[in-house]
Amino acid sequence: MGHVSRIASFLPALGAVAPAFAQDAPARYNLQTPVTSIAQQINDMHTWLMVICLVIFIGVFGVMFWAVFNHRKSKGAVAAHFHENTVVEIAWTIIPILILLGMAWPATRTVIDMKDTSNPDITVKATGYQWKWGYDYLQGEGEGVRFFSSMSTPRDQIEGGAPKGEAYLLEVDKPLVVPVGKKVRMLLTANDVIHSWWVPAFGVKQDAIPGFIRDAWFLAEKEGVFRGNCAELCGRDHGFMPIEVHVVSAERYAQWVAEQQAGMSAGTAAAVSVTPEDGAPAGVGARGLDVGLNVAAVADGKT
Amino acid sequence: MAAVTHDQLQGHQHGQSGLMRWITTTNHKDIGTLYMFFSFFMFLSGGVMALTIRAELFQPGLQVVQPEFFNQLTTMHGLVMVFGAIMPAFVGFANWMIPLMIGASDMAFARMNNWSFWLLPPAAILLLGSFFVPGGAAAAGWTMYAPLSVQMGMGMDLAIFAIHIMGISSIMGAINIVVTVLNMRAPGMTMMKMPMFCWTWLITAYLLIAVMPVLAGAVTMILTDRHFGTSFFNAAGGGDPVMYQHIFWFFGHPEVYIMILPAFGIVSQIIPAFARKPLFGYASMVYAVAAIAILSFAVWAHHMFATGMPAAGQLFFMYATMLIAVPTGVKVFNWVATMWRGSLSFETPMLWAVGFIFVFTIGGFTGLICAIAPIDIQVQDTYYVVAHFHYVLVAGSLFALFAGAYYWLPKWTGHMPSEFLGKLHFWCSLVFFNITFFPMHFLGLAGMPRRIPDYALQFADFNALISIGAFGFGLSQLIFLVAVIKCIRGGERAAARSWEGAEGLEWTVPSPAPHHTFEEAPVLR
């Protein structure tokens, strides 16, 4: 990653290719500001590839448009008769292969990094439901905490009855909370159809597949609120099951865990508090979670 | 080479007239025409769906359609455009042009040819009619991923049967093309003298024969999972939802080359004609097409990087996918080299062909970006991917189809198409295409998922712009309709060789091509 960003920083043209937008405003033209090393590697790689593509693009179409403007019949151009040239043809086969090798090298290292989910500080299982997420803290600080997380944007805002809020469609009733600087391993599964858990700032997108468990990891280097969406078509409300992650300090996290555990020990209070807005009875939500766990347990045995 | 009798010059065709002529025809030109009118009708239907989608996405919030119907629209737009518009249009071109290009009197299996076309209208009725059944049309995306597709109403069953029927049609069409090209070439036309369009279609036909049965298998498994208690894609019964994706994309990736290789062929006919210079690197073009076709079988899982496969799997599919850039690059370089030091003129077909190279290459580059597995993790299932495949399917396949239509319209109708309308159509399409699809790259990078009926506020400006561009692009296509109707009804008489630099056997028969051509095979030196 080091050499990529070094080379990239030498290119003043980069500013025009990938403008660095204000850190706090939501991204509009480019990938979201990364807060993990993986997302940073992806950003650098993307910038680097854009530069290579742009150079090739200008080269190839420079030649083509030169011909378009200068080799016109109306300007008296007479057609040459050449129709092959072995040396040129071999050259433009070999050179692209070399360029591709240059691209594959950093990508390979990132792929291997992304797959290294070993030694997490905290493990959280996320379960996709139509249409909300369930989170279970399985290991590490906060073990045993479990809750649902549904979109909290009111129906009124969607249907135009009320002005839309700042985090329109990207806000949830109970966000996922994780401590800053800790490696979090996410286990992904689903209860009904395939969903996909995606937080762009973390560089994590992992499908949640019913009956199977897949994993991904992130280590957020910055506190803040990071938002994402379900990224796999999952039916009617696919567009309305956002992901909101709060990255907080270690102390704040400990405090949050204590609050959750106090709430959990007060019986089914937690399940009641995450009743979906559409008025489904609390019991349905709680049962849904249990079913999800059973399915996941079966799958765990298989894999 | 004058293989035209007096009878043919009069344009006589025998047998029934009126509607029965078209239903019973076994003539490759009639069937080609039917294919093209069918595909244009489907193109407009799919276009109306696209514009309804864009109307909903014009501003944040739900205004025009509800999410259920929105998902039906995105699904049906994909299915209709892929199976109803782009593929039949290319088969129409193959029917009309391959016999003319290789000096054959007709396609090898004339009756099967009739059948493979007439399977399509019932399939289209099933597909479009499914909007009106309880529960509406299929809404699981054109990819129909299980288990979502197992949840759907009867619209999904209709879509599955439509796919079966269209698949049978495609396989029969492909067999016909393979047999025609391999057996019915005029004496002296060796394989390596064949026009590029025939080469690309020969290879495409093999791809079709190889993968359409795979798709049929995948959707049949969905059907039995839905109704007959099987558990192919249900983990509770020992199945695996991801297996569906493997099977689907084993079809799906060759499928995208099925839709682009004949486009390469059309462009390879047009560029030399208007550069007045032979195609550069003919042999390497053939090898490049073959290489793309073979590689297309080994890259399918790049559509599935986010499903979570082992690192070795991701790396294999990433490397294989990147490799496709090499033969694709060779093709672009060859086209540019063909233009280099030519004697260029820019009639409508050439404008479309050059536009194709320019805009398709942008789609090629974004394809390379998507091939890089870690970057794909970020852009998978976002508008970036939507931008990418519309750059290759609209600016790629569709632009090439328009290029080919303007190029061969004189041969089909006997009249030159209006240069004014053709150029207007081109420039409107090019500008509105880019207004529509270029900003989608930004949306995808910034994090807007695809297939959502509503979006976060930071995406509002680009979406409004995209919707305006989409309506402009949609309306521009009506110019094509006018240009074609005008060309059929009259216009400047087209000579046998309608374009100054055009080469090939099709330009040795009169324009319009008589009902029967090459009853006696022409002899090539």
Domain limits of chain A? 2-115, 122-302
pLDDT for B199 equals 98
Give me the residue label for tokens 């399918």.
B300
Q: Which domain holds residue B57?
A: 1-195+504-525
- What does the block give as tokens for A110? 């990132």
Are B281 and A206 inside 8 Å of each other by CB? no
- Assigned domain for B341 exists: no
Element (H, E) at A83: none
- Assigned domain for B110 exists: yes
Whether domain A2-115 has CATH 1.10.287.90: yes
> Is-catalytic flag, B388?
no
Burial of A291 (0-12, 13-18, 19+ CB in 10 A): middle
pLDDT for B12 equals 55
Are B378 and A160 inside 8 Å of each other by CB? no
Q: CB contact, 8 Å: A115 with chain B?
A: yes
Phi, psi of A211 (to 5 degrees): 90, -5
Helix (H, G, I), strand (E, B) or coil at A188: strand
- The edge-to-edge listing of strands for the beta sheet with A195-199 is A176-179, A243-248, A224-230, A195-199, A204-208
Residue A131, preceding bond cis, omega within 30 degrees?
yes
In terms of Cα–Cα distance, which of B73, B98, B107, B277 is closest to B189? Answer: B98
Contact (Cβ atoms closer than 8 angstroms) between residue A214 and residue B304:
no
Q: CB contact, 8 Å: A31 with chain B?
A: yes
> Is-catalytic flag, B328?
yes
Q: CB contact, 8 Å: B283 with chain A?
A: yes
- Assigned domain for B53 exists: yes
**Strand A122-129 with A243-248, pairing:** unpaired
Contact (Cβ atoms closer than 8 angstroms) between residue B154 and residue B135:
yes
CATH of the domain at B164: 1.20.210.10
Compare CB distances from B282 to A45, A83, A236 and report the shortest one's residue: A83
- Assigned domain for B417 exists: no
pLDDT for B272 equals 97
Q: Can you state the angle between helices B348-371 and B383-392, rounded to 10 degrees?
A: 140
Compare CB distances from B343 to A73, A108, A216 and report the shortest one's residue: A73
Q: How far apart are CA B186 and CA A62, in angstroms?
A: 41
First to last CA, chain B: 11
Give A 251-290 residues with CB within 8 A of chain B: none
Q: What string of pLDDT tens digits covers the 525 residues of chain B? A: 344 444 444 455 566 788 899 999 999 999 999 999 999 999 999 999 999 999 999 999 999 999 999 999 999 999 999 999 999 999 999 999 999 999 999 999 999 999 999 999 999 999 999 999 999 999 999 999 999 999 999 999 999 999 999 999 999 999 999 999 999 999 999 999 999 999 999 999 999 999 999 999 999 999 999 999 999 999 999 999 999 999 999 999 999 999 999 999 999 999 999 999 999 999 999 999 999 999 999 999 999 999 999 999 999 999 999 999 999 999 999 999 999 999 999 999 999 999 999 999 999 999 999 999 999 999 999 999 999 999 999 999 999 999 999 999 999 999 999 999 999 999 999 999 999 999 999 999 999 999 999 999 999 999 999 999 999 999 999 999 999 999 999 999 999 999 999 999 999 999 999 999 999 989 886
Task: Please give, rounded to a whole number of angstroms, the shortest distance from the CA of B418 to a CA of chain A.
Answer: 20
Is residue A6's pLDDT more than 70? no
Pick the CATH number of A122-302 from 2.40.10.10, 3.40.50.2300, 2.60.120.380, 2.60.40.420: 2.60.40.420
- The edge-to-edge listing of strands for the beta sheet with A214-219 is A146-149, A132-139, A122-129, A183-190, A214-219
Q: Which residues contact B380 (CB under 8 A, 6 or more apart)?
A: A205, A231, B305, B306, B370
- What does the block give as tokens for B231? 């558990």
- Chain B hits for A168, Cβ within 8 Å: 60, 456-457
Is residue A295's pLDDT more than 50? no
Mutation for testing the B interface, residue in A47, A54, A64 having most B CBs under 10 Å: A64
* Chain A CA closest to residue B309: A214
pLDDT for B9 equals 45
| Rounded CA Rg of chain A | 25
* Chain B CA closest to residue A49: B369
Q: Which of B185, B226, B277, B331 is catalytic?
A: B331
Give me the residue label for tokens 């195609």.
B279
- Chain A hits for B391, Cβ within 8 Å: none
Is residue A287's pLDDT more than 60? no
- What does the block give as tokens for B386? 């939507």
| Inter-chain Cβ pairs, chain A and chain B, closer than 8 A | 284
Contact (Cβ atoms closer than 8 angstroms) between residue A36 and residue A219:
yes
Q: Which residues contact A217 (CB under 8 A, 6 or more apart)?
A: A114, A116, A117, A120, A183, A184, A185, A186, A204
pLDDT for B13 equals 59
What's the total number of domains in chain B? Answer: 1
Compare CB distances from A84 to B281, B319, B462 and report the shortest one's residue: B281
pLDDT for A264 equals 82
* Chain B CA closest to residue A165: B457
Compare CB distances from A210 to B147, B323, B358 and report the shortest one's residue: B147
